[in-house]
C-alpha cells in the first residue's frame, strides 16, 4: 500500500463512497415503500406525519401565502445623527462606525462633536 500514489488512493475512496451511497439508497427504497404502503392503508397524510414529528406548520409555499409573511416591508431611511465637517459625510449612528469617526476618536475628539 505504501507504493500507491495519493491519486490512486483518492480514486479508490471515491469509488467506495459511491458504492456505499448506492447500498444506502438500495436499503432505503424498500423501507420507504413499506412506509408509503402503511400510510395508504391507514389513510395517513404527510401533514399528519409532519405534526407527529413536531412540525406544526404547512409546507413553505403555503405558509408564506397563508400568513402574509411572504411580502417584504420597505424600511424608511434613518436620518443622520453625525456629520463630518470636512467632507460632509453623514452617519446615522447605526451599523459599523465610519472611518472618519474612528480616526477622530483615536486622535482625542469626542463623537458628540460631530452630532447634527
* Tens digit of each residue's pLDDT, the chain (116 residues): 566 889 999 999 999 999 999 999 899 989 999 999 999 999 998 888 888 888 655 555 555 555 556 677 888 888 999 998 888 889 998 889 999 999 989 999 988 888 98
Tell me, yes or no, if the pTM score tops 0.85.
no
Per the CB < 8 A criterion, the answer to whether 84 and 100 are in contact is yes
Q: Is the domain 82-114 a CATH 1.20.58 member? A: no
Going by C-beta distance under 8 Å and a sequence separation of 6 or more, which residues neighbour residue 86? 100
The three-class DSSP label of residue 84 is coil
Distance between terminal CA atoms of the chain?
73
Amino acid at each position: 500500500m505504501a507504493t500507491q500514489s495519493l491519486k490512486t488512493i483518492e480514486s479508490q475512496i471515491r469509488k467506495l463512497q459511491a458504492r456505499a451511497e448506492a447500498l444506502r439508497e438500495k436499503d432505503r427504497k424498500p423501507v420507504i415503500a413499506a412506509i408509503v404502503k402503511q400510510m395508504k392503508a391507514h389513510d395517513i397524510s404527510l401533514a399528519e406525519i409532519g405534526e407527529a414529528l413536531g412540525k406544526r406548520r404547512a409546507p413553505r409555499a403555503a405558509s408564506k401565502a397563508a400568513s402574509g409573511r411572504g411580502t417584504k416591508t420597505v424600511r424608511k431611511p434613518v436620518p443622520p445623527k453625525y456629520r463630518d465637517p470636512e467632507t460632509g459625510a453623514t452617519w446615522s449612528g447605526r451599523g459599523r462606525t465610519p472611518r472618519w469617526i474612528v480616526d477622530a476618536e483615536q486622535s482625542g475628539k469626542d463623537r458628540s462633536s460631530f452630532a447634527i
